[in-house]
Every structure is written in structure tokens, then in C-alpha cells.
Structure 1
């Protein structure tokens, strides 16, 4: 499937309580819907962006073999060195046309999801706080949040949950609070 060979990236700006912004570099694997928060900074520079690309390729080392395309916009922080990091891994860089949000729709959608489910409900104080919120949310997104394209499985799930044979047998449904209760996760227990 072609979607399994695509990874997309985009910048996300986060409003702080002191009316400043921080920026996060977000990557999304199309096939698995796995979310990667590459980094957060107050001043994204081209060199910072290249370093985040290197960090991501090191993190995805084994998994990189299945990726063939990187979809990105024409932001000035993406310089030739950024593209070279991916091209050295045999990943072709595809640039979107100027200003069409639908050409990188999956990544734009996950950024909207990040905002709706987490960032819009939390007052974020600084870069460290925003990094914490994004990391916690990424763990939830990859480990627990269902995705329609994956038959309601989260990105890290290998097999669907099998229903219990005897419905009369009681079982627990413990709740885990994420981000101070902003998000709740549930798991069946025997």
C-alpha cells in the first residue's frame, strides 16, 4: 500500500500564556498514523530543523527502510540540508504547492487533533511545558487513540482486541487519566 511508504511533516505553533509562541516540528507516518514530535523551540532555524531530521532518522533507523516519500511544505526552515538527511536514506522529498492545506492533509489533520484534544484545553507556560504536553499526548495518540483507517486500532497496536468468550464473567475497566484527566484511557482486565 502506498500510504505505508509516506511520512509527512509540518510545523505547529503553540500559544503560550505570555502571548509568545513556540514551534514544534511534527512528523506523521501515513500508513500507521504514528505521530512523532521531533522537537520544540522558540526560534526554529534551518539548522535546528536539520538536527531534528537527523534525530528522527536515528530514532526510526530500522523502520526507515519502508519509507519512500517525505511530504513537506515550502517553509523557509526546510533547507537543502534538511532534504539531504532524508535523501541519504533513499527517501524522496515531495514539496507541496504554495499554500494548499489539502496537499498535506494527514499532517494538517493531526495538528488539528492535537489542538482540539490537548492544546486548546491547557494553559502552556513555556517551551518545557509545551514539550511535556506534546510528549504525553503523542504517547496517548500512538498507544491508545483509535484510528478509523486502522480499523479502530491505535498506531502501536499489532492485533485487534479479542472479545471475552463468556460475557457473564465480570471484568474490570480501569481508567487511566492523561494530562490531568483531560483525556481518559480505559483497558479491559481479566
Structure 2
């Protein structure tokens, strides 16, 4: 057991017993679990890959982030400040993307 533990920690990229060393990754994992995976039944590996791809796209192009002043990390190039607000359901309604119709 001790040999396996030493082997694992030697390959790890973050320091052993350092809970804040990889805070960004830990926060992303928490977000994807709370907002997406805890609300779905994952059927197989292909389904999991699809769900994670959809969530990643939503996370980077539609979801506002508190750490950057409620801005979107990679917003659409064309954003209108007028027009009707519409909702697009993603992953069967688990996620909602709001946008202005042109």
C-alpha cells in the first residue's frame, strides 16, 4: 500500500496535502457536478463525453462568471442590447442559455 501511495504522489502535479494548490480545477469540477452531472443519468462513456462537451461549451460561451464581474469568458462576437430575450434549453432543459434575438 505504501509503495502505491508513493508512486501516485510522485506522478501527481499538485503538492501532496495541499487543498488550495489546484483551486481552479476543483471549482470547475464542483460546477459541472452541481449544475449538470447531479441532474442527469449518464448512460455510457459516449454519453458522458457528449454531456461534458456541451457543458464546457455552455460554461465558456454562455454562463456568467462571478470572478470576472459577471462577464462571459468567451462571448459571442455579435451581442445585441435590444430585442426580445429568448431561452435555449441545453441537455434536455438541464441548462438554459438566454440570448437576445436579432
TM-score normalised by length of structure 2: 0.78
Q: Does 1:105 align with 2:23?
A: yes
Report the counterpart of residue 83 of structure 1 in structure 2. Answer: none
Do 1:101 and 1:108's aligned partners in 2 also have CA atoms closer than 8 Å?
A: no
Instruction: Please identify which structure carries the higher strand content.
Output: 1
Count of residue pairs brought into register by the alignment: 93
Do 2:80 and 2:100's aligned partners in 1 also have CA atoms closer than 8 Å?
A: no
Deviation at 1:96, TM superposition (A): 2.2
Report the counterpart of residue 128 of structure 1 in structure 2. Answer: 46
Deviation at 1:100, TM superposition (A): 2.2
TM-score normalised by length of structure 1: 0.44
Report the counterpart of residue 114 of structure 1 in structure 2. Answer: 32
Q: Distance in 2 between matches of 1:75 and 1:113?
A: 28
Deviation readout 1:94-124 (Å, 9 max, x if unpaired):
x422132211111101100000000001011
Instruction: Please identify which structure carries the higher helix content.
Output: 2
Deviation at 1:75, TM superposition (A): 7.3
Deviation at 1:162, TM superposition (A): 6.9
1:4-153, aligned counterparts within 5 Å? 74=9, 76=11, 95-153=13-71
